[in-house]
């Protein structure tokens, strides 16, 4: 069960049950949460374990969870109240774009050179700051 299934299943006309899990499956590959399924209790367990860690990949993962929650909620409201509907891929891309824009405002310590994370999010090397000796 994905985070919002209980809410969406009450509104049969939204047909959203697969969309929210598809969004989560698309965006979790951009984080260090690949092993976390879409169940809210699993996501919250991961968040509790990693809330105090200031490592960039954990910060980014928390940003992704927050953005995914917001955009899935927004999509649910659009489907309920305006009859507008986007695909899961479009919602996932909006999450990724929003998080990337936020990441671009951050400065990372030069010692953090997680190449795969930097490549996934297209973080330029100029976002790495020199540490004083």
Q: Mean per-residue pLDDT for 83-97?
A: 92
> What tens digit of pLDDT does each residue of 6-34 get?
444 444 444 445 677 888 888 988 887 88
Q: How far apart, in Å, are the Cα atoms of 92 and each of 8, 96, 123?
A: 18, 6, 19
Helical spans, DSSP H, in 28-114: 40-50, 56-81, 88-103
Which H helix or E strand runs over 108? strand 108-109
pTM for this model (two decimals): 0.78
Mean pLDDT of all residues belonging to the chain: 79
The residue written with tokens 């992704």 in the block is: 64
Token duo for residue 69:
């929650």
**Rounded to whole angstroms, how far apart are CA atoms 133 and 122?**
28
Instruction: List the domain boundaries for the chain.
Output: 5-129
CB 59 within 8 A of CB 65: no
């Amino acid at each position: 069960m994905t985070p919002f299934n209980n809410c969406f299943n009450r509104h049969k006309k939204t047909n959203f049950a697969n969309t929210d899990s598809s969004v989560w499956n698309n965006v979790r590959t951009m984080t260090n949460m690949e092993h976390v399924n879409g169940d809210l209790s699993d996501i919250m367990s991961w968040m509790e374990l990693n809330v105090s860690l200031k490592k960039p990949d954990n910060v980014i993962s928390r940003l992704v969870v927050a953005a995914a929650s917001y955009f899935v909620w927004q999509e649910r409201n659009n489907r309920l109240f305006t009859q507008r509907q986007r695909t899961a891929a479009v919602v996932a891309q909006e999450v990724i774009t929003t998080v990337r824009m936020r990441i671009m405002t951050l400065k990372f310590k030069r010692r953090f050179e997680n190449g795969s994370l930097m490549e996934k999010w297209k973080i330029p090397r100029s976002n790495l700051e020199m540490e004083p000796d």
